[in-house]
Chain A
Amino acid sequence: MKLLNKTSLIIITLTLFIFFSGGVSFFYLIRSLINQETDRELISYSNNLVGEMQLFEKTAPNSIFITENNVEMKRVDSFSFTQAFFSDTILFDPRFNKRFPHRVYSFPADLGFRKYEVSVYRSTYQSEKLIERIVLSLTVMFILLILSLYFLNRYLFKRIWDDFFYTLDKIRSFEIKQGREFYLKDSEIEEFQQLNQAIIKLMDKIRQDYRNLKDFTENASHELQTPLAIMQSKIELFLQQDDLKEEHLELLSGLYEAVNRLAQMNRALILLTKIENNQFPEKEAVALHERIDYHVDQLQAIMEEKEIQLKVNTKALFKEMSPALADILLMNLIKNALRHNDRGGSVEIELSNDKLIVQNTGAPSELPAEKLFNRFTKSGKNKESIGLGLAIVKRIVDLYDWKIDYKFEEGKNKFILHF
């Protein structure tokens, strides 16, 4: 749940609760106050009435109902009640042809010569109306208050959390590989300012560590180039000696092969580091179909040698990318399909608008698909491979936000690159 919704919900439930309970008690309070007032009036009126009744002639009627004053007197021989009491009733008013609620004060009046049970009525219609209005205006006020609280909360939220969301956005869009400086604007709110400072410190540390690691890989592989060059050249020179025996040649051959492999590996590592360092920023629309044809052509002799059937089915497709990386990507995929193939097998290359499929016959990979693209993972039987080709492919695919999958289907190793 969003923070804004959470706080709004709490505020609204709390105000609802307060207003509901407050409203109910207020309603009863007002009612009892008005009732008290009515009762007082009724008592004072009845006191006056008793005074007036003392003047009654002996001929006074048995029962009187005075509509205008809402007084009812009933002559009794003995009282049916001895205590005065209040009650509520509804009376029909013929003037309005309508029933109205009334408050009734009944009391026994003993005039000495006669006894009357007197009831004094007072319409409570007006006060009920008053209470109704008070409740209505209270409800309106309450709704207005809740609305204003809701909008105030939203506004405050926006103002206060603005810095927070800015920071969040910045962190989200931060890409360590881009190597850009990470900065946050200052916040007026101390807590957020502290958060920002902590994040900046953390980011600096991460960037520093990442840079150190990258520099190390980069420097190490570059520094290795020269000693490798020396080793390779010395062995080559050594080979030119005229009086070498066969066993010497064999030793030198082993040494030369090892150095050569090391050099290849190092070259691949440098390439990987360069892709990671984004050192191929140039982009142009590369005609992938043409590049595929070119590489296939270059590898023709090798395919003939391995008696590999080639099927190329490409549609014209241009991709915005570094031409150098396009070549490396295609070359590595095609070379991979050739290297892990059987004599007399086949390679199929299919290029459509949204994907490139390179599939080849051969035993399925012994490695799980997710490990296949890791560095230095290779199946044991292929000694020549240095295990970096697919890692380079993956890096390039990642760089352009594409996706690559490996599948083994119908006896074929299938690499599917989704653009």
Chain B
Amino acid sequence: MKILIIEDELDLANSIESYLKLEGYVCEKAADYAEASEKINLYRYDCALVDINIPGGSGLTIIRELKALKNNCGIIIISARNSIDDRIEGLEIGADDYLTKPFNLSELNARIKSVIRRIQFKGDNTFEFNEIRVDAQSFQVWVHNKELSLTKKEYDLLIFFLANKNRVLTKESIGEHVWGDYADTLDSFDFIYTHIKNLRKKLLANGALDYIKTVYGLGYKFLANPDT
């Protein structure tokens, strides 16, 4: 999987690259409009992360060019400007998602996975991890082919974990992923614990391995190989 990171802040681009490399993605970076335009015309990417404000042009133009190429590249806008107009325009001209800076890398990673899945597996949006199977279209989950009955929040949690296996996920990033703008209503993120506990219980009861591990003081980690 190849990802193009169009971002003029080198530090941020490097962080994104490092995180995505852990996930096994091949990343390339473009720091300005010319470079980005050249790269998308020369190579094919599975997903492009586009900053709207880049030197030499607009990220929106890049999105239009990408769309004109019709090569099934997922597009996620990463912008410092949380402007509704930008968001609407970006999504209208064909971007798949929109993230406002600052964002969690785990969130970005989950969004990339979801976008790529949507684009590349049209019609059949299911994926598997060991004994767990997920249908992202009907929001159904099976363990050993037995359907789990999960709440919406538990489902969101599971997807987020599956997208970020073996990563330390902070309580804050989990809270924001699952509760979005409502995340700051919680006095502390401690009550995420309840939901995670329930999810874990349901997984275990249906014969899944104990994948979810608590990381002291910080959050949680979904271990790909819990026995090792």
A226-B101 in contact given A233-B16, A305-B194 (Cβ < 8 Å): yes
Report B-chain residues with C-beta under 8 Å of the C-beta of A257. Answer: 172
B156-185 Cβ-contact flags toward A at 8 Å (1 or 0) = 000000000001101011000001011011
| Cβ-based interface call for B188 (8 A) | yes
24 A–B contacts from the bound complex (CB under 8 Å): A222-B80, A222-B81, A225-B100, A225-B101, A228-B101, A230-B12, A232-B102, A233-B16, A233-B19, A239-B168, A246-B216, A249-B216, A250-B216, A253-B170, A260-B170, A260-B172, A267-B100, A274-B83, A299-B185, A302-B182, A302-B186, A306-B191, A338-B185, A384-B188
Q: Are B102 and A225 in contact (CB under 8 A)?
A: yes
B102 touching A228, Cβ below 8 Å:
yes
Residues of chain A in range 72-123 having any CB-CB distance to chain B below 8 Å? none
Instruction: Tell me if B103 and A229 are in contact (CB < 8 A).
Output: yes
Contacts of A234 in B (CB 8 A): 11, 15
A240 vs chain B, min Cβ distance (A): 6
Q: How far is the CB of A156 from chain B (nearest CB, A)?
A: 54
Contacts of A260 in B (CB 8 A): 170, 172
The minimal Cβ–Cβ distance linking B107 to chain A, given in whole angstroms, is: 10
Asked if A335 and B182 sit within 8 Å, CB to CB, the answer is yes
A-B interface pairs (CB < 8 A), number: 111
A257 to B185 alpha-carbon distance, docked (Å): 15
Contact with B along A124-151 (1 / 0, CB 8 A): 0000000000000000000000000000
Interface contact B81-A384, CB-CB below 8 Å: no
- A226 proximity list for chain B (CB < 8 A): 9, 12, 80, 101
- Interface residues in A339-379 by Cβ distance below 8 A to B read 339
* 0 or 1 for each of A262-300: is its CB under 8 Å from B? (1 = yes): 011001001100100001100000000000000000110
Residue of B with least CB distance to A270: B82
Cβ–Cβ contact A331 & B105, under 8 A: no
A360 to chain B minimum Cβ distance, whole angstroms, is 12
Please determine whether B101 and A384 come into contact, CB atoms closer than 8 angstroms: no
Q: Within 8 Å CB of A229, what residues of B?
A: 9, 12, 80, 101-103
Question: Contacting B187 at CB < 8 Å: which of A279, A298, A331, A384?
Answer: A384
A237 within 8 A of B: yes
**Closest CB-CB distance, B13 to chain A, in whole Å?**
10
Q: Is the CB of B182 within 8 A of A236?
A: no
- Chain A interface residue bracket vs B: 35 or more
Among all A-B residue pairs, the 3 with the closest Cβ atoms: A229-B102, A233-B15, A225-B80
Determine which residue in B18, B153, B167, B185 has the highest number of CB atoms from chain A within 10 A of its CB, and name it.
B185
In the complex the two chains form, what is the Cα distance from A274 to B106 in whole Å?
A: 28
Contact with B along A169-185 (1 / 0, CB 8 A): 00000000000000000
- Closest partner residue, chain A, to B172 (CB atom): A260
B218 & A249 in contact (Cβ 8 Å cutoff): yes
Q: Chain B residues near A263: list those with CB within 8 A.
A: 102
Residues of B within 8 A of A253 (CB): 170, 217-218
The smallest C-beta distance from B186 to any residue of chain A, in angstroms, reads 6
Cα distance A260–B172 in the bound complex, in angstroms: 8
Shortest C-beta distance, B10 to chain A (Å), equals 9
Contact of A331 among B22, B81, B170, B181 (CB under 8 A): B181
Would you give the shortest CB distance from B6 to chain A, in whole angstroms?
14
B182–A331 contact, CB under 8 A?
yes
Most buried by A among B22, B81, B103, B105: B105
Contacts of A339 in B (CB 8 A): 185, 187
A256 at the interface (CB under 8 A from B): yes
Query: Do the beta carbons of A335 and B184 come within 8 Å of each other?
Result: yes
Residue among B80, B104, B153, B179 making CB contact with A232, cutoff 8 Å: B104
- Across the interface, name the chain B residue whose C-beta is closest to A231: B102
| Contact residues in B for A279 (Cβ distance below 8 Å) | 83
- In the complex, what distance in Å separates the CA atom of A271 from the CA atom of B102? 15
A416 within 8 A of partner (CB): no
Partner of B11, one of A230, A299, A306: A230
Interface string of A195-238 (1 = CB under 8 A from B): 00000000000000000000000000010011011111110110
A263 to B9, alpha carbons, bound, how many Å? Answer: 17
Most buried by A among B83, B101, B184, B186: B101
A222, B51: Cα distance in complex, Å: 14
Does B84 belong to the interface (CB within 8 Å)?
Answer: yes
B21 to chain A, nearest CB (A): 10
Distance of A268 Cα from B103 Cα, bound (Å): 15
Q: Other than the known A229-B12, A229-B101, A335-B185, what 6 A-B pairs have Cβ atoms closer than 8 Å?
A: A225-B100, A228-B101, A239-B167, A250-B217, A305-B194, A386-B184
Output the residue of A253, A267, A271 with the most chain B CB within 10 A.
A253
Provide the residues of chain A in CB contact with B16, threshold 8 Å. 233
Evaluate contact between B172 and A256: CB separation under 8 angstroms.
Answer: yes
Cα(A259)–Cα(B102), bound, Å: 10
Q: Is the CB of B217 within 8 A of A249?
A: yes
Q: Which of A312-342 contact B (CB under 8 A)?
A: 324, 331, 335, 338-339
Q: In this assembly, does B215 line the interface, its C-beta being within 8 Å of a C-beta of chain A?
A: yes
Of B12, B22, B188, B191, the most chain A CB neighbours within 10 A belong to B12
B78-92 at interface with A (beta carbon < 8 Å): 80-84
Q: Which residues of B contact A274 (CB under 8 A)?
A: 83
B146 contacts partner chain A, Cβ-Cβ < 8 Å: no
Complex contact B12–A264 (CB within 8 A): no
Q: Which residue of B lies closest to A322 (CB)?
A: B84
Determine if A230 and B15 form an interchain contact, defined as CB atoms under 8 angstroms apart. Answer: yes
Q: Flag if A236 contacts B106 (CB, 8 Å).
A: yes
Whether A249 lies near B215 (C-beta < 8 A) is: yes
Residues of A within 8 A of B168 (CB): 239-240
The answer to whether A239 touches B170, judged by C-beta atoms less than 8 angstroms apart, is: yes
Chain B residues near A10 (CB-CB < 8 A):
none
User: Which residues of B lie under 8 Å from residue A240 when comparing CB positions?
Assistant: 19, 22, 167-168
B64 surroundings in chain A (CB, below 8 A): none
Which residue of the partner chain B has the closest CB to A254? B217
Partner of A237, one of B19, B84, B103, B188: B19
